[in-house]
């Protein structure tokens, strides 16, 4: 996944002296669901359109009996943890935050805006997206790279959000009323493996084919159509262009005509001519002069992903040089110059990259993407003080902007300034909800500052958010058991309170596993 401390395993090795029971703990996930079962978990969520029935399932409350909100949350949390282990998730804070901002903007305008969602990008140039239990929504980088506008990207996210808000997973599970919870988990799709490796995806399906065959024939085409309809309403309510959804569908359909294999998105979300036509008709029902808002960030995020999608940065340099040379629209030059600078920096050409970034900053000194790129370039060049000057400007302009805080924190840790990194994180947490990356960096900052107890507490929070509740409990118990750590009274009270909370959650997980 790129950086050393992204998912906690490396920090686990770094701080092994703190936690010596790891061989018997770390290999036990919270929910004892094997890799093939998790792979088949996703197929259920994504392939909800396999049969021809156009009758919507009952919208009553009975769907909550099979997949309760708590069970969905737990299942989604464990599933997301599994994805992090086996799939290259994009961990760039700027890209993460951008995708989350689009997702949250759509969710805020849905009829189920109280539901929690998690949005992330998978480092894969194939076009695909999926929704899973617990509000988990993932898209491949290929969706962003192939979207012409922000509204097209938002259309894909809106479609997946609609699958969640309309309880399509619960409906499908309810259709198999005699299915046990483990079998239901085994049926919730092989899309993840199918995305990365279609043959492996087929193998995962075969592994549970007895239940899968029966469940798949109960998936309804109406779910896809309903997701289109609800998704388009979300686009309009959220200020996006509702024509973005049919525009992206039509693009995919055309692409499949000229390639031997259809995009993954078409195979997991089948598009018929009637469905595309219906989507276009719904979009055209909105006023032609309807106002919509698309941020300038889309093009910059896309440029960054283009650089990251090239295995050799020099190829990315050539790509942007060609685009700049042949560009007909002056307004696109800033985006192309930005991508060119990122590519040159990644290729080690720091001098030319610096000149390009400085020119961009001169034209737009408050652009957060330019400031972050300038700071990152100086870190690559080894000029930490220059990088910190850029970070200081960025933080002054955007004090609680997650990409600035996390990128600045990482730079401080690399520069062996953990105390400053810790203070930056603590201030951020006063006004924002900490996440996995936050606790991962806080673990490092506390340990490297000599605060082993606080490092252990932060590490436990990391594992709890990862869905590994048992590991989190063991982390905290270890702190209490070791005489050399000696937590003070207030730390011990915090630890005991967190253990009590974690144990309650662990008991819920045990009950679910017995179903």
Residues 411 and 455 reside in one and the same domain: yes
Residues 272 and 198 in one domain: yes
Q: What is the DSSP letter of 18?
A: G
The DSSP element (H or E) to which 132 belongs, if any, is strand 129-132
Looking at the structure, do residues 370 and 429 belong to the same domain, yes or no? no
In SS3 terms, 152-164 reads as HHHHHHHHHHHHH
For the entire predicted model, the pTM comes to 0.79
Residues 211 and 333 in one domain: no
Q: Using the 8-state DSSP alphabet, how is residue 54 labeled?
A: -
Tokens in use for 48? 């909800």
- The reply to whether 56 falls in a domain is no
- Do 393 and 475 belong to one domain? no
Would residue 55 count as lying in a domain? no
Confirm whether 228 is a catalytic residue.
yes
Residues 215 and 187: beta-carbon distance below 8 Å: yes
On whether the CB atoms of residues 66 and 233 are closer than 8 A, the answer is no
- For the chain, residues with pLDDT lower than 70 are 1-68, 168-221, 255-272, 512-515
Residue after which a domain boundary falls, among 375, 398, 421: 398
Structural domain total, the chain: 3
pLDDT of residue 300: 97
Q: Is 229 helix (H, G, I), strand (E, B) or coil?
A: helix
The whole-angstrom separation of Cα 19 and Cα 78 is 22
Mark which of 398, 419, 454 sits at the end of a domain: 398
Closest to 238 measured CA to CA, from 162, 313, 294: 294
What is the rounded CA–CA span in Å between residue 376 and residue 388? 10
User: 440 near 6, Cβ under 8 Å?
Assistant: yes
Given 91, 92, 96, 160, which residue is catalytic?
160
The confidence score (pLDDT) of residue 165 equals: 87
The verdict on 173 and 91 lying in the same domain is: yes
Position 171 scores a pLDDT of 59
Q: Which residues pair with 120 in a beta bridge?
A: 138
- Which among 377, 398, 419 is the end of a domain? 398
Structure tokens, 188:
């919730």
The reply to whether 205 and 311 lie within a common domain is no
The predicted pLDDT at position 266 comes to: 52
Q: Specify the residue for token string 């961009």.
A: 360
In a domain, 53, yes or no: no
* Whole-number pLDDT of residue 24: 27
CATH of the domain at 321: 1.25.40.10
- Residue 349: domain span: 295-398
Q: Which residues contact 371 (CB under 8 A, 6 or more apart)?
A: 361, 390, 391, 393, 394, 397, 404
In a domain, 376, yes or no: yes
Residue 54 included in any domain: no
How big is the chain, counted in residues? 515
496, 347: one domain = no
Which of 124, 228, 299, 378 is the catalytic position?
228
* Residues 406 and 381 reside in one and the same domain: no
484 is catalytic: no
Longest pairwise C-alpha distance within the chain: 71
Kindly state whether residues 495 and 409 are assigned to the same domain: yes
Statement to judge: residues 229 and 87 lie in one domain: yes
pLDDT tens for 357-413 read: 999 999 999 999 999 999 999 999 999 999 999 999 999 999 999 999 999 999 999
Residues 6+ apart with CB under 8 A from 54: 220, 221, 222, 225
Query: What pLDDT, on a 0 to 100 scale, did the predictor assign at position 119?
Result: 95
pLDDT at 213: 38
Nearest-angstrom CA–CA distance, 287 and 407: 42
Whether residues 96 and 168 fall in one domain: yes
25 part of a folded domain:
yes
């Amino acid at each position: 996944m790129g950086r050393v401390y992204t998912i906690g395993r490396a920090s686990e090795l770094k701080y092994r002296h703190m936690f010596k029971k790891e061989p018997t703990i770390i290999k036990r996930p919270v929910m004892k669901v094997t890799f093939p079962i998790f792979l088949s978990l996703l197929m259920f969520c994504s392939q909800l359109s396999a049969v021809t029935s156009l009758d919507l399932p009952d919208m009553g409350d009975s769907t909550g009996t099979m997949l309760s909100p708590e069970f969905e949350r737990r299942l989604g949390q464990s599933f997301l943890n599994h994805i992090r282990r086996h799939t290259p998730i994009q961990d760039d804070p700027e890209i993460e935050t951008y995708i989350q901002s689009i997702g949250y903007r759509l969710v805020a305008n849905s009829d189920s805006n109280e539901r929690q969602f998690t949005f992330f990008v998978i480092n894969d140039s194939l076009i695909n997206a999926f929704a899973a239990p617990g509000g988990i929504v993932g898209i491949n980088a290929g969706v962003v790279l192939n979207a012409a506008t922000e509204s097209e990207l938002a259309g894909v996210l809106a479609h997946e959000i609609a699958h969640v808000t309309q309880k399509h997973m619960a409906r499908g599970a309810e259709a198999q009323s005699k299915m046990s919870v483990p079998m239901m988990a085994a049926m919730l799709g092989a899309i993840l493996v199918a995305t990365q490796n279609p043959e492996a995806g087929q193998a995962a399906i075969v592994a549970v084919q007895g239940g899968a065959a029966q469940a798949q024939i109960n998936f309804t085409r109406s779910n896809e159509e309903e997701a289109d309809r609800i998704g388009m309403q979300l686009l309009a309510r959220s200020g996006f262009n509702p024509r973005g959804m049919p525009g992206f569908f039509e693009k995919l359909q055309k692409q499949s005509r000229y390639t031997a294999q259809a995009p993954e998105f078409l195979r997991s979300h089948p598009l018929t001519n009637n469905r595309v036509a219906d989507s276009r008709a719904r979009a055209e029902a909105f006023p032609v002069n309807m106002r919509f808002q698309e941020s300038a960030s889309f093009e910059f995020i896309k440029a960054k992903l283009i650089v990251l999608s090239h295995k050799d940065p020099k190829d990315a340099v050539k790509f942007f040089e060609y685009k700049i040379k042949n560009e007909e629209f002056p307004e696109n030059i800033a985006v192309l110059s930005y991508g060119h600078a990122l590519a040159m920096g990644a290729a080690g050409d720091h001098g030319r990259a610096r000149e390009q970034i400085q020119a961009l900053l001169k034209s737009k000194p408050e652009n957060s993407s330019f400031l972050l790129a300038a700071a990152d370039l100086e870190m690559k060049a080894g000029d930490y003080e220059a990088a910190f000057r850029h970070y200081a400007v960025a933080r002054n302009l955007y004090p609680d902007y997650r990409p600035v805080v996390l990128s600045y924190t990482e730079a401080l840790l690399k520069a062996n300034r953990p105390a400053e990194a810790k203070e930056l994180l603590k201030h951020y947490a006063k006004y924002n909800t900490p996440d996995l990356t936050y606790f991962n960096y806080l673990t490092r900052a506390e340990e490297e500052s000599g605060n082993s107890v606080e490092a252990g507490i932060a590490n436990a929070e990391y594992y709890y958010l990862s869905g590994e509740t048992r590991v989190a409990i063991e982390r905290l118990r270890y702190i209490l058991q070791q005489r050399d750590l000696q937590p003070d009274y207030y730390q011990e009270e915090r630890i005991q309170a967190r253990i009590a909370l974690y144990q309650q959650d662990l008991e819920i997980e045990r009950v679910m596993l017995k179903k």
